[in-house]
Amino acid sequence: MRVFRFSLSVAALGLVVWLSACARGATGGAPAPGPARGQVVVSGGDTIVLIGPPTVVDTLPAVAPGRFDTGKMWTFENPPLDYFQQEYGFRPSAQWLERVRLAALRLPNCTASFVSPNGLVMSNHHCARESATAVSREGEDLLTNGFYAATQADERRVPDLYVDQLVVIRDVTAEVQAGIPATGPEEQQIAARDQKIEEVAERLSGETGLRCDVTSLYHGGKYSSYCYRRYDDVRLVFAPETQIGYFGGDYDNFTYPRYDLDVSFFRVYGPDGQSFQTQHYLTWSDSGAAEGSPVFVIGNPGSTSRLNTVAQLEYRRDHQYPSTIRLLESRAGVLDRYIARHPDQRSTYINDYFSYTNSLKAYTGELKGLRTPELMARKVAFEKAFQAAVRSDSALRRQYGSLWDEIARLRRQIADVAPRVNALNQGGSLRSQTLATALGVLQYAQAATSGMVPDSVLEAFRAELLATEINRELDAMILAAQIEDAVQLLGPDDPFVRDALQGRGVEAAATSIVNPSVLPDSARRAALLANPADLATTPDPAIRLMRSTLPRLRAAFQEFQRLTDAEEVRTSRLARALFDVYGAHIPPDATFTLRIADGVVKGYQYNGTIAPVFTTFYGLYDRHFSHAGRPDWALPDRWRQPPAGFNLATPLNFVTTNDIIGGNSGSPVINAAGQLVGLIFDGNIESLPGDFIYTTETNRAIAVHSAGILEALRHVYGATRIVTELEATRR
């Protein structure tokens, strides 16, 4: 503890005080409380105050639009070579770019990369969870206990797993845009676009023999076709124990400083059953990246909203997130009370509970960003600059000038209808499964008689309805919370609210709906599905309630859909305006397609101090012992006593300013020499507003350090074979 009050000059002010004291005839003061060290108390009851207009204090500097407010997720078709040259003195060659593009891979939900000429692939442990479970044999639990194939023959093929390599990129903007009618109803425009996209993708797939998608960049400002080579013999080579691969669990997720060996290895095999040989792989760096050095993340960021208008962000800030958070808090509270009442069922429900609290963490982090005046001011400044550019050109002004106002108007309308959608909507673990099933059963019956729904879809739907398990007690608690929501959202006189309550309190009403309903009973539910005609007349309270609600829900939803369609068209036009004004100087929003993001290795201000650039294995043990007894920080057996020779000072995780988001998990972090220095696995808590604005003050990507990976493979897992293979790639 240091004393922080500032002394004013004793020499100057002290005497002013003294003379004043003289003037009023006092010769002494009350015995001063012993001032803490360095503190000068200059007058009896107050310290001299320093006053002026309020100033916002924050680590964020200006509110001028930042050059990179929309981020740095550059496409490979438009890498900003001049900017790289100017910023880092490094101009990637075409070969450099091709090599890293072809070394990078896409997993179904993650990124990965080739790290050896023999098809060795690296990604995150959390991207290999399902694989570890899938290749576990009778009596094995490889997800929990980890897996290492001691020989290549021991590598296990993961059923249905594939990796995609981005081979061909084509600009198909003109073709797609030509297929969209310039006038006509909005939904027809959208449908025509979707159809055109499908056509182009199919045609290109046929021409190239690859798997081609068409991706809308800049919300339709540009369309690119990405064609992938798919490798579908992928075998698991190494995955650590979950306790070390997800060390700190949901608690430490989205946080830094961090101590997480979130790494896994796969190997791609060719059709001949031999390991796939490739020239396109990343070479290994033992030393990793130094503080301040430039690094590049090659990966597939999933989705961002950086081009959202201020009105759209205000909507999120003032409506969407507060309401989502309230819903999650309510349901987390319900689960918490239920688990307290039934401690024996803790294991059944605790994951749902953590899933709520983890979502709360994320939404709260984003909302905090939206409520940070400096961040919003930067968005406002960016929008003003963009509007000024549009309005200074008469053609652009005619075409795009009114879009901001139109979007703002639509968002106001959406704010009107959304509470109705949300209150009437039924579904997900956040809502009563009894009502959700009632809604499902009614819709199933309508779909079945419409003749418009394919049998396969109907069958899948029926199976899902049959498989739902409902815990009456918990479900009644959730329904009570849900009715309370409806009262708040729609008022006491809404027909749904009146039907649900029937003059009862929310808890009594919920019990009276859930308990007598046949739906929680799977046998009686199946009987009901078999006789859909009964649905129109059954007195089942849940079905009765949803019978009267479905038409209103559908109407509200269609209105909602109409408004969001109308907004989507305008959003696309605005994005095209952005593209017209800024071109590829601004990268498009993330679309789960390959991007290259530049950044530097850099700490940040955090928690009153500075977060270090990297953490070490010492910190892993600190967290373990300081959270003694908490399962999230337990260590696997083999880690409890680090083996002799294991250097705890080895870097484990590190932070960079690269622009990433969900989907980037498993992305390689490479230096200018093209060497792999790390493996992206998370962002810090300050990165959450990154969905709508990219900043470098405190937003950080978190990666596993290449030296930490090697140290653990060598000393803890004795994975000599892999260590040798990785080390052989060093140039």
Residue ranges in 11-30 that form contacts with a copy of itself under rule CB under 8 A:
11-13, 15-20, 22-26, 28-30
Pick between residue 124 and residue 285 the one whose CB is nearest to a copy of itself.
124
Q: By CB under 8 A, is residue 234 in contact with a copy of itself?
A: no
Site for a copy of itself, residues 118 to 157, rule: CB under 8 A: 126
Q: How far is the CB of 82 from a copy of itself (least distance, A)?
A: 29
| Rounded Cα–Cα distance for residues 59 and 687 (Å) | 15
Site for a copy of itself, residues 37 to 66, rule: CB under 8 A: 37, 39, 43-46, 48-55, 57
Pick between residue 378 and residue 420 the one whose CB is nearest to a copy of itself.
420
Pick between residue 25 and residue 343 the one whose CB is nearest to a copy of itself.
25
**Residues 724 and 667: beta-carbon distance below 8 Å:** no
Size of interface with a copy of itself, in residues (CB under 8 A): 172
Pick between residue 48 and residue 169 the one whose CB is nearest to a copy of itself.
48
Residue with tokens 């879009």: 403
Residue with tokens 């001949």: 272
Site for a copy of itself, residues 316 to 355, rule: CB under 8 A: 318-320, 322-329
Q: By CB under 8 A, is residue 613 in contact with a copy of itself?
A: yes
Q: Which stretch binds a copy of itself (CB under 8 A): 36-44, 167-175, 230-238, 532-540?
A: 36-44
- List all residues 6 or more positions away from 174 whose beta carbon is below 8 Å from its beta carbon: none
> Given CA atoms 285, 666, 152, 231 in this order, what sign does their dihedral have?
negative
- Which residues, listed in sequence order, are joined to residue 670 by a DSSP beta bridge? 296, 676
Q: By CB under 8 A, is residue 551 in contact with a copy of itself?
A: no
**Residues 550 and 407: beta-carbon distance below 8 Å:** no
In a 13 Å sphere around the CA of 59, the CA atoms on its Cβ side amount to 13
Q: How far is the CB of 274 from a copy of itself (least distance, A)?
A: 29
* Residue 466, token pair as written in the block: 């049959």
Q: By CB under 8 A, is residue 74 in contact with a copy of itself?
A: no
* End-to-end CA, the chain: 50
* Residue 167, token pair as written in the block: 């081979």
| Rounded Cα–Cα distance for residues 341 and 473 (Å) | 11
Q: Which of 80, 240, 288, 419 binds a copy of itself (CB under 8 A)?
A: 419
Pick between residue 161 and residue 414 the one whose CB is nearest to a copy of itself.
414
Pick between residue 216 and residue 729 the one whose CB is nearest to a copy of itself.
216
Q: By CB under 8 A, is residue 564 in contact with a copy of itself?
A: yes
For residue 90, report the phi and psi dihedrals to the nearest 5 degrees.
Answer: -140, 120
* Residue 293, token pair as written in the block: 């050095």
Q: By CB under 8 A, is residue 287 in contact with a copy of itself?
A: no
Q: How far is the CB of 134 from a copy of itself (least distance, A)?
A: 14
Q: By CB under 8 A, is residue 174 in contact with a copy of itself?
A: no
Q: How far is the CB of 457 from a copy of itself (least distance, A)?
A: 8
Pick between residue 33 and residue 539 the one whose CB is nearest to a copy of itself.
33
Pick between residue 65 and residue 365 the one whose CB is nearest to a copy of itself.
365
Residue type, 303: S
- 470-489 mask for a copy of itself (x: CB under 8 A)? ---------------x--xx
Pairing of strands 111-114, 104-106: antiparallel
Pick between residue 275 and residue 300 the one whose CB is nearest to a copy of itself.
300
Q: By CB under 8 A, is residue 456 in contact with a copy of itself?
A: no
Q: Which of 242, 387, 615, 675 binds a copy of itself (CB under 8 A)?
A: 615
Q: How far is the CB of 456 from a copy of itself (least distance, A)?
A: 13
Residue in 167, 252, 366 with CA at minimum distance from that of residue 620: 252
Pick between residue 99 and residue 623 the one whose CB is nearest to a copy of itself.
623
Q: How far is the CB of 85 from a copy of itself (least distance, A)?
A: 27
Site for a copy of itself, residues 497 to 526, rule: CB under 8 A: none
- 367-406 mask for a copy of itself (x: CB under 8 A)? x---------------------------------------
Pick between residue 144 and residue 195 the one whose CB is nearest to a copy of itself.
195
Q: Which of 189, 278, 426, 517 binds a copy of itself (CB under 8 A)?
A: 426
Site for a copy of itself, residues 90 to 119, rule: CB under 8 A: 106, 108-110
For residue 487, report the phi and psi dihedrals to the nearest 5 degrees.
Answer: -60, -45
Pairing of strands 283-284, 675-683: parallel
Residue with tokens 């399962």: 631
Site for a copy of itself, residues 198 to 217, rule: CB under 8 A: 198, 201, 213-216
**Residues 516 and 406: beta-carbon distance below 8 Å:** no
- List all residues 6 or more positions away from 725 whose beta carbon is below 8 Å from its beta carbon: 116, 118, 120
106-141 b/e (C-beta count within 10 Å ≥ 16 → b): bbeebbbbbbbbbbbbbbbbbbbbebbebbbeeeee
The C-alpha angle with vertex 607 and arms to 602 and 609, in degrees rounded to 5, equals 60
Q: By CB under 8 A, is residue 427 in contact with a copy of itself?
A: yes
Pick between residue 575 and residue 693 the one whose CB is nearest to a copy of itself.
575
Site for a copy of itself, residues 629 to 688, rule: CB under 8 A: 648-649, 651, 662-665, 681-685
Q: How far is the CB of 620 from a copy of itself (least distance, A)?
A: 8
**Residues 670 and 226: beta-carbon distance below 8 Å:** no
Q: Which of 152, 177, 359, 522 binds a copy of itself (CB under 8 A)?
A: 359
Q: By CB under 8 A, is residue 731 in contact with a copy of itself?
A: no
Q: Which of 93, 394, 626, 641 binds a copy of itself (CB under 8 A)?
A: 626
Q: How far is the CB of 263 from a copy of itself (least distance, A)?
A: 14
Residue in 234, 227, 213, 210 with CA at minimum distance from that of residue 160: 234
CA of 289: how far to CAs of 506, 528, 542, 647, 703, in Å?
Answer: 58, 63, 60, 18, 11
Q: By CB under 8 A, is residue 565 in contact with a copy of itself?
A: yes
Q: How far is the CB of 264 from a copy of itself (least distance, A)?
A: 14
Pick between residue 275 and residue 616 the one whose CB is nearest to a copy of itself.
616
Q: By CB under 8 A, is residue 592 in contact with a copy of itself?
A: yes
Q: How far is the CB of 475 from a copy of itself (least distance, A)?
A: 13
Relative orientation angle of helices 346-370 and 321-341, to the nearest 10 degrees = 160
Q: How far is the CB of 730 from a copy of itself (least distance, A)?
A: 23
The C-alpha angle with vertex 691 and arms to 300 and 113, in degrees rounded to 5, equals 15
| Rounded Cα–Cα distance for residues 303 and 507 (Å) | 40
- List all residues 6 or more positions away from 162 whose beta carbon is below 8 Å from its beta carbon: 108, 230, 231, 232, 234
| Rounded Cα–Cα distance for residues 119 and 270 (Å) | 9
Q: Which of 609, 641, 644, 645 binds a copy of itself (CB under 8 A)?
A: 609
Q: Which stretch binds a copy of itself (CB under 8 A): 152-160, 248-256, 399-407, 495-503?
A: 248-256
Q: By CB under 8 A, is residue 36 in contact with a copy of itself?
A: yes
Residue with tokens 């005619």: 398
Report helix, strand or coil for 562. helix
Q: What number of helices (H) and strands (E) belong to the chain?
A: 26, 21
Q: By CB under 8 A, is residue 314 in contact with a copy of itself?
A: no
Report helix, strand or coil for 519. coil
Pick between residue 561 and residue 724 the one whose CB is nearest to a copy of itself.
561
| Rounded Cα–Cα distance for residues 255 and 633 (Å) | 14
Q: By CB under 8 A, is residue 408 in contact with a copy of itself?
A: no
Q: Which of 88, 162, 557, 646 binds a copy of itself (CB under 8 A)?
A: 557
Does residue 257 have a cis bond before it (omega within 30 degrees)? yes
User: DSSP secondary structure string, 586-613?
Assistant: SPPPP-SS-EEEEEEB--EEETTEEE-S
For residue 381, report the phi and psi dihedrals to the nearest 5 degrees.
Answer: -65, -40
